[in-house]
Structure 1
Amino acid sequence: FQPEKLAAYEWHFDTSSHAKLLLFGVLDEKTQQVKGAIKLPGLLSFLADNSVKTKVQGLNDFPKSLHPPMIVHYFF
């Protein structure tokens, strides 16, 4: 029930269906690019609602004041 936290945990910036789950990698917060990650197509959507077609809200849809620190990805 806290989509902004899911987006931050998974470095998901743009709202989309078939959202990729990212494993590992390094985030450049300025460009919102993740380098060196293993990308699993549709898996983040599936984890959110048991369907790869589920639309997952991205961080860019939330005010910056609601963004958790991006370092949470490494701990999650």
Structure 2
Amino acid sequence: MAVSPLGPPRRTPEPTLFDAVGGERFFVELVDHFYDNVEADAVLLAHYPEPEDLGPARERFRLFLIQYWGGPT
């Protein structure tokens, strides 16, 4: 059996969920929707140490979801 000088065949990477749903824009909208509902619910809002500013929590959650679902790290 001859070995190709080019090495093993390269596989095309499978698309990630991040790519399939449209990339970062989807996750921005998803996290905004989630936190808009958190802000409107006193029971959920009580679980946040800084309920007056959920911006940092939104950012951390967005970055986590993007990385988890195959987006840039």
TM-score normalised to the size of structure 1? 0.24
Name the one with the larger strand percent.
1
TM-score normalised to the size of structure 2? 0.24
